[in-house]
Amino acid sequence: MKSQISQLSAYQPGLSSEALKKKYHIEGQLYKHASNENVYGPSPKVKEAINQAADELYLYPEPNAPELQEVISEHYNIQKNQILFGSGLDEMILIISRTLLANDEKVITSEGTFGQYKHNAIVENANFVEVPLKEGAFDLDGIAAAIDDETELVWICNPNNPTGTYHNHKAIEAFLQKVPSNVTVILDEAYAEYVTADDYPDTLALLQTYSNIAMLRTFSKAYALAGLRIGYLIGQPELVEKLNILRPPFNVTRVSEQAAIAALKDQAHLEKAVKINHDEREKFKNLNSTLKIYPSQTNFVFIETEQSQALNDTLLKNGIIARAMPNGVRVTLGFPEQNEVIRNVLENF
C-alpha cells in the first residue's frame, strides 16, 4: 500500500440532523447550512429531463457526455475538445492530481482553502506547499514567489471556499504573468455563477493568452445539482486529452448529463437563484456586530473568530447547522427566515 495513505483520513461529513438533535437535545427543526448547497433547488425542467433519461438506464453512458459537451461548447463559444467532465469537481481534482503530479513535484495553493487539493497531492506523494491567506484571500504575490523549478501545479480557488473572497480580472492576470508557462494553474470557480462583482475574471479570455491555465465549474452549487455529481474543466485541448486518459470511462451518468443540459438551458431559473442569494448576502454587510465577516461573492459567509466552536454551537441551538473551522465558522445562506436567524445570532454573540 502507499505509505502516505496512513497520513490521511476519509472525508468526515457533518452529523445528520437527527444525530445532532439527539446530541444537543434540540427540539425544533434543524436547517442544513454546512455544505453550500442551493436550498432553492434546480430548474423544474431538470425533473422532466431525468424522467426521460430513465428510459435508457440499461445503457452505459456515452464517454465524456457528448450532448452536454455540445451544449457547453455553444454556451461558452469554445471547442468541444476543450471540455472534460467529472463526477463532480471532487473527481476532477483527483484526475488532475493523478495526471500531473509525479513524486516530489511541488503543488502550491493557499492555506485555508478547499481541502481536496491537499488530500490528492499527498496521495500522489507530491510536495504540497501552502501560502498563508492574506486578509482572508489568496496571497497571489506570495504564491508567485513560492513557485520554483520543481513546481508543477498551482490551485487558485476563486472565489475561495471557505472565506468567500475573490480576486478580480486584473489581479489574476497580473499573477498569471509571473507564472512560468510550464506550470499549470487551475482556477477552481465552483461559485462563479454566484459572483455579482463586475470585475470578476473572464477566465475564458485569459485562456486565449495563457495556455497553461484551466477553469473548473460545477453543477453542484448555483445550479443546485449537488446530489447528481457533475462538474467540468475547460482548458487547452492538449491538457484535456491527457486528463481524459485517467478519466474513468463512464464517470458521468446519462441522468446527470441530461439533468445538466436542462439546468444549463434554464438560465432564467439560475438568474433568480443568483439574485435572491445576492440580496440575502447584502444583508450581512454592516451588521451590528464586532465579529469579522469577510466580504463574500458566494452563497456562504465566513465569520472569523477564535471562538468558532462556541459560535457554531450557538447557531446550532438556534436551528442552524454551520461548519466550524479552526479560525471561524462558515455558514451557507438559505431561505430568508433562516438567514435572519443567523444574523440575529451574529449580532448577539
Among 34, 49, 53, 89, binds ligand PLP (CB under 6 A): 89
By beta-carbon proximity to ligand PLP, the closer residue of 252 and 315 is 252
* Stretch near ligand PLP under the rule CB under 6 A, chosen from 86-94, 98-106, 192-200, 255-263: 86-94
Tell me the Ramachandran region of residue 304: left when phi exceeds 0, alpha when psi lies from -120 to 50, beta otherwise: beta
Options 3-11, 26-34, 85-93, 323-331: segment touching ligand PLP (CB under 6 A):
85-93
Q: How far is the CB of 64 from ligand PLP (least distance, A)?
A: 16
Q: What single-letter amino acid sits at 331? A: V
Interface with ligand PLP: number of residues (CB under 6 A): 13
Establish if 218 lies at the interface with ligand PLP (CB under 6 A).
yes
CB 35 → ligand PLP: shortest distance, Å? 8
CB of residue 303 to ligand PLP, shortest distance in Å: 17
Q: Which residue is nearest to ligand PLP (CB)?
A: 88
Binding map of ligand PLP across residues 130-159, x = CB under 6 A, - = no contact? ---------------------------x--
Applying CB under 6 A, which of residues 42, 65, 69, 88 lies at the interface with ligand PLP?
A: 88
Q: Which is nearer to ligand PLP, 220 or 338 (CB)?
A: 220
- In this complex, which beta carbon is closest to ligand PLP, that of residue 90 or of residue 152? 90
Task: Closer to ligand PLP by CB, 188 or 319: give it.
Answer: 188
Instruction: Write the interaction track for ligand PLP spanning residues 154-183; mark x where CB under 6 A is met and - where it is not.
Output: ---x---x----------------------
Q: 3-class DSSP state for residue 151?
A: strand
Minimum gap (Å) between residue 288 Cβ and ligand PLP:
29
Q: Which of 33, 42, 82, 114 binds ligand PLP (CB under 6 A)?
A: 114
Q: Which of 37, 124, 152, 188 binds ligand PLP (CB under 6 A)?
A: 188
- Distance of alpha carbon 54 from alpha carbon 277, whole angstroms: 32
CA distances from 171 to 113, 177, 202, 254 (A): 18, 10, 12, 39
Q: Give whole-number Cα distances, 243 to 54, 64, 194, 238, 281, in Å.
A: 29, 12, 27, 9, 36
Cβ neighbours, 10 Å, residue 147: 17
Return all residues near 180 (Cβ < 8 A) that are at least 6 apart: 147, 151
Q: Which long-range contacts (CB under 8 A, 24 or more apart) does 7-16 make?
A: 7/122, 8/119, 8/122, 8/123, 14/321, 14/323
DSSP string for residues in 225-289? -TTT--EEEE--HHHHHHHHHHS-TT-S-HHHHHHHHHHHH-HHHHHHHHHHHHHHHHTTTT-S-
Residues 233, 28: contact at Cβ < 8 Å? no
Given 101, 129, 131, 190, the residue binding ligand PLP (CB under 6 A): 190
- The rounded distance, in Å, linking the Cα atoms of 99 and 3 is 20
Q: Which is nearer to ligand PLP, 114 or 200 (CB)?
A: 114
Q: Return the closest-CA partner of residue 179 out of 130, 143, 207.
A: 143
- Residue ranges in contact with ligand PLP by CB under 6 A: 36, 88-90, 114, 157, 161, 188, 190, 218, 220, 226, 231
